[in-house]
Chain A
Amino acid sequence: MKNIIRVGAVAAVSALTLAACASAPEEETTTPGATADSTATATAEAPAETVDFKACMVSDSGGFDDKSFNQSGYEGLTRAESELGIEIASAESTTEADFLPNIEAQVAAGCDLIITVGFLLSGATVEAAIANPDVNFAIIDDLADNDYNGETDAPNIKPITFDTDEASFLAGYAAAGASASGTLSTFGGMNIPSVTIFMDGFLAGANYYNEEMGGDVKVLGWDGADGQFTGDFSDQSKGQNVTEEFLNQGADVVMPVAGPVGLGAAAAVQSAGDAWLIGVDSDWTVTTDYADIVLTSVLKNIGNSVFDTIAETVDSGFSATPYLGTLENEGVGVADFAEGAVPEEVLANLDTIKAGIIDGTIPVDVS
């Protein structure tokens, strides 16, 4: 036993030693004059010119690696750092007790714009915004209207919300066309508005298909008021079970609206072999390993909205005008459809429907 440890230790030390043998970076071994040059190069490589602006972000308890809205938001922040040349800082909340301290730490660190992710941070954001009127805030997926008077509670908060149902309407319509069995299914993580808005649009889109094309497509898992929920946003095995149940009932398209739980649904769809999956939030042909079973994805471009908000604030100053992601401004959308999965005729109608949703002639609510 001791020998094994010794051998292991020697191996580890030699590995470390070898790894540490690389030569030092050149620019610093050269003369001071050259150093100045290399600094100049470094600056040239840096994005445009460095702007004196600090954008900060606070996550909810999901953290920035949640493969969902915290992560999308963070991607927007890092994109702003590299493309706009601003300074950024971020703070993950592990519990709700961290919300306000995290925001306060960012205020103290001199952040110009603080973006909070998720409706849970609403209270803390409003409190901090009122206490720090000279700092600007933006909040994702919430209107920051905690007294329900229809107005944002502080003049220095910009609400960022999304009409996701417009995009999932298109997905529902196309899925109804693609389904061979005439049965679609969807389930959510929890029965909360930011989840069910996906399911509403999906159901409405399928119903619209039935009206227009004279189909008889059913949607399992959501009836416009209640439906199937796994109860959390983490347990993938629940997603798998629910999906297997749907497939047994004849569904051949599944749209999971439950963050990482959707990966369990993807596993179930893959083993079934003859069904489709619809991704949410991001393009699942890119962000997951299930590209070959993804019919399309309902995109909620949180990253873009964060980037746009920061860019606008840097360029022309802060505006508290609410940002609403729609099909029209490409805040929401659908990804490319799997080739050959959706009938040509249905695909051809999608542009008309999209235009109809944008000009308001096609209502996306469940009726």
Chain B
Amino acid sequence: MSEQGQTTEAAPEEEAPQESRSRQVLREIAESSSMVVFMAIVASMLIGGLLIIFADEAVRESAVYFFSRPSDTFSAIGDALGSAYSAMFNGAVLNLQAESFAATIKPFTQTLTMATPLIFAGLGLGLGFRAGLFNIGAQGQLLMGATVGAYIGFAWDLPAGLHLLLAVLGCALGGALWGFIPGVLKAKRGAHEVIVTIMLNYVALYLVAWLLSLEAFQREGSDNPISPVVAETAQYPKILGVQFNLHLGFVVALLCAVGVWWLMERSTLGFRLRAVGANPSAARTAGMSIGAATIITMVIAGALAGLAGSAPVLGTQKFLTDSVAGSLGFDAITVALLGRSRPLGIVLAAILFGGLQASGPSLQVNAGLPVDIVVVIQALIVLFIAAPPLVRAMFRLPAPAHEKEVAA
């Protein structure tokens, strides 16, 4: 690919070959085979297991006299792994110790709840990746979406239904605006989207922190940087009843996934975006406007990331703080890569990550493990996805066709 970039690139842009190399990496990651993705998950679970073993006090104590009585060490390892993985299962899939049916299935609904913002933001990022834009700004876009949506939610007084609709649209709008800025800067001035989106994350963070220092964003009689609770008319209704946290946002996220699939696979606009992502020079030669495609992509990606902000402010947490985004914007990058930038893949990857996050409380409370284990497993997945040759070497998978060509 890079040779092609060098030969066809007539414009005197020095960074053109580099640009195409970064696009190449992006595409390789995005198009890594599903077997590699699956094996990456398996490998990170295995290494995560090793960490669980080392983190366990009983194992470390018994390992000291391993040669005198190895059985102690092995049984401690078994206990540690058993309690960790069963805590993960109980926390993320089904709670087999629960007495009622509702309590048994509650963990899975919790997984879906945690997956909701990741689906939204992952879809936005995946869209950008396929159009050749490495958007790191989901965090800021999410925060702006959450801010606008939350403000509409707690400050306006509207009938149910309309209020929720406007709050959700507000989330999309806030994110779209924050996506539009880097889009237009890139299209008109060539500013690199990675730098601009990273910087806008900080702008968004401090903007929200400042807004929360204003009376208009604070609770009555309190100076804490925490907004009033969003009105019930603007909250996502709980779709499985009050004992479950799963809310309508999950359904909206699935609808967005279908929408993005239709956009990218069935519409002319999507074809253009993909063409620009695959080979901008060719797309330009074919008469497509790269600038317009960049702006449109960033606006849609921003709107989706902004919708991710609706999950906490209108669904689970129901108020705004400056840490409402958590690490969602960055986790969503992993989700998009793991889902190979395809809507279905992103939904599944988001559910996997939602499950990992949902298992956090149970891991800590029932298995006494640090929650960092979950973060490590997530990080390892990224590592393995980003290094497909490593995973292929580990599991002796065949190299994909295009890489063989490069090697030859």
Interface residues of B in 187-242 (CB under 8 A from A): 206, 209, 213, 219-226, 229
Smallest CB–CB gap between B85 and chain A, Å?
Answer: 16
B327 at the A/B interface (Cβ < 8 Å)?
yes
Contacting residues, chain A, for B219 (C-beta < 8 A): 146, 148
A228 at the A/B interface (Cβ < 8 Å)?
no
Pairwise interchain contact A95-B323, C-beta atoms closer than 8 A: yes
Pairwise interchain contact A96-B360, C-beta atoms closer than 8 A: no
Pairwise interchain contact B362-A21, C-beta atoms closer than 8 A: no
Smallest CB–CB gap between A35 and chain B, Å?
Answer: 14
Pairwise interchain contact B64-A97, C-beta atoms closer than 8 A: no
B321 at the A/B interface (Cβ < 8 Å)?
yes
Smallest CB–CB gap between A225 and chain B, Å?
Answer: 11
Smallest CB–CB gap between B97 and chain A, Å?
Answer: 9
How many A-B contacts are there with CB distance less than 8 Å? 124
Chain A contributes a number of interface residues (CB within 8 A of B) equal to 42
Q: Which of A68-76, A104-112, A328-336 lies on the face that meets chain B? A: A104-112
- The 0/1 profile, CB within 8 Å of B marked 1, for residues 115-138 of chain A is 000011011100000000000000
Smallest CB–CB gap between A20 and chain B, Å?
Answer: 4
Among B91, B221, B225, B318, residue most surrounded by chain A Cβ atoms (within 10 Å): B225
Complex Cα spacing A105 to B64, Å = 34
Pairwise interchain contact B371-A92, C-beta atoms closer than 8 A: yes
Complex Cα spacing A25 to B222, Å = 57
Complex Cα spacing A146 to B63, Å = 51
> Assuming the A-B contacts A97-B316, A100-B316, A119-B226, are A24 and B68 also in contact, with contact meaning beta carbons closer than 8 angstroms in the complex?
yes
Pairwise interchain contact B361-A94, C-beta atoms closer than 8 A: no
Q: Which of B318, B319, B361, B366 is the one whose CB lies under 8 Å from A104?
A: B361
Complex Cα spacing A90 to B209, Å = 29
Pairwise interchain contact B224-A89, C-beta atoms closer than 8 A: no
Q: Which of A188-196, A205-213, A273-281 lies on the face that meets chain B? A: A188-196
Interface residues of B in 344-364 (CB under 8 A from A): 357-358, 360-362, 364
> Assuming the A-B contacts A89-B368, A231-B209, are A24 and B224 also in contact, with contact meaning beta carbons closer than 8 angstroms in the complex?
no
Pairwise interchain contact A21-B67, C-beta atoms closer than 8 A: yes
B370 at the A/B interface (Cβ < 8 Å)?
yes
A66 at the A/B interface (Cβ < 8 Å)?
no
- The 0/1 profile, CB within 8 Å of A marked 1, for residues 45-81 of chain B is 0000000000000000001111111001000000000
> Assuming the A-B contacts A94-B327, A97-B114, A108-B103, are A56 and B220 also in contact, with contact meaning beta carbons closer than 8 angstroms in the complex?
no
A-B contact pairs, 13 of them (CB 8 A): A17-B67, A19-B63, A24-B72, A89-B365, A90-B365, A95-B327, A96-B323, A96-B324, A97-B357, A100-B245, A105-B91, A148-B221, A190-B225
What residues make up the interface of B, taking CB atoms closer than 8 Å to A?
63-69, 72, 91, 95, 98, 103, 110, 114, 117, 206, 209, 213, 219-226, 229, 245, 312, 316-319, 321, 323-324, 326-328, 357-358, 360-362, 364-366, 368, 370-371, 375
- Sample of 14 further A-B pairs with CB below 8 A, known A101-B360, A104-B361: A19-B64, A20-B64, A20-B67, A95-B323, A95-B326, A98-B361, A108-B95, A120-B321, A122-B226, A123-B317, A124-B317, A146-B219, A190-B225, A192-B224
